[in-house]
Structure 1
């Protein structure tokens, strides 16, 4: 039936933007005027994201990037011919990294791998308690506050990763220059050391890369190991 889902979602988003309403309030207002309105689950997810992003569309937002990746795993089950815009630009093809960004290099060969804008942050999980169901878990580790920092960066796909990602659900991420192991990926998702499950996951171990911060004065750079 026409006019009950897509158009309703557009009107709902308009009310959210112009009236400052949450998506549920705006949707309820539309349904009051049009009782047969029925936004499908996909549009509901987009409206929730729109609300979380402050009723703006920012393609550089980590929230937007993660949502887009999750949708891709549903639209491209064979993981072939992924849209080019999914991949972040390879930092080696950029002449200069902005002062506001951190560059991450392979610790072994110094090859530039990704920028801080490619990191998709996540809410910290419950720490070691999230792994209690696994065999061999040392219950003594579950004492204290039960929290552990993330030992990996979860990023959006970067152009140099493309050959490894297409056509397979999971695998290793190797440095494109020296082939040392940097981390792993899984379109099904992986669990961070903090306990949070991240889907899909493109995980680079912090111990395998160095941070390079560009100073605002001159051309000096500092590396954080």
Structure 2
């Protein structure tokens, strides 16, 4: 997806999409020295630009506020002597949210003022509802800290993530055919079940609307080295040892069987995996993670 002409939100700060971040000519024209990628993306090979990633999904249950101070520090350092591009997949929700949080802290803007400033430069900016609620929390925190002449450092301690948690992140999942260890429970990316069932029903016309089970038949995980080249927009994921097809990836997202839209979409079918075992007692063949 090509971008509109980028306009600075404030001097030396731009908000865009993945296309912008990969457009070497545009980056040179705008004299971009730093890129902040808000999401899970392939490594962008631009050695002359300082790059940082925030592992964030565009989902209502995503704890975004925990990254605001980290993003602030990166942007602040970048704009002192250079220019910073903040981007996500489309430049609509995640990246604008980060830019708004920066304006709230840096310039002591209200949320309303910060949103208006970002939208003036990026008209399609539209943070999702839960991100806006977290920005409201951040606004109140920064306002209270301003009275004490301190920073908004407590934002990382605000718990807004309502995703279920695992009791043991050491469990290892392996290929059902050859028993090669593939990933740990800690690599699983959680999502809210049944969040977009309406659109899912439209896709699955062969299923009656009242019979759709809100269950997940796949795990969605972080990218692993054994998956190989993933520079294409989409493709299949196979076991590195027996080459059994395990799932697929699609960087611009797709729907889980429960109906929730997941982006990026790195899917491993549960039916292709053996029962998880504790990694501390793991005896299966392992691959480089």
Equivalent position of 2:193 in the other structure: 124
Q: Does 1:161 align with 2:230?
A: no
Distance 2:233 2:220 in 1: 16
2:274 to 199, 203, 210: 210
Equivalent position of 1:103 in the other structure: 172
Q: Deviations over 1:131-156 (max 9, x none)?
A: 433475142xx335x43210000112
2:237 touches 2:249 (CA, 8 Å); kept in 1?
A: yes
Equivalent position of 1:133 in the other structure: 202
Q: How much has 1:51 moved relative to structure 2?
A: 3.1
TM norm structure 1:
0.55
Equivalent position of 2:183 in the other structure: 114
Which runs of 5 or more residues in structure 1 are unaligned?
17-24, 32-36, 64-98
Distance 1:127 1:211, change over 3 A: farther
Distance 1:104 1:121 in 2: 16
Q: Does 1:48 align with 2:148?
A: no
1:187 touches 1:201 (CA, 8 Å); kept in 2?
A: yes
SS in 1 for 2:274: strand
Distance 1:159 1:120 in 2: 16
Distance 1:125 1:15, change over 3 A: farther
Q: Once superposed, which parts of structure 1, at least 4 consecutive aligned residues long, lie more than 6 Å away?
A: none
Q: How much has 1:178 moved relative to structure 2?
A: 0.6
1:201 to 240, 252, 265: 265
SS in 1 for 2:178: coil
What number of residue pairs does the alignment pair up? 163
Distance 2:246 2:192 in 1: 23
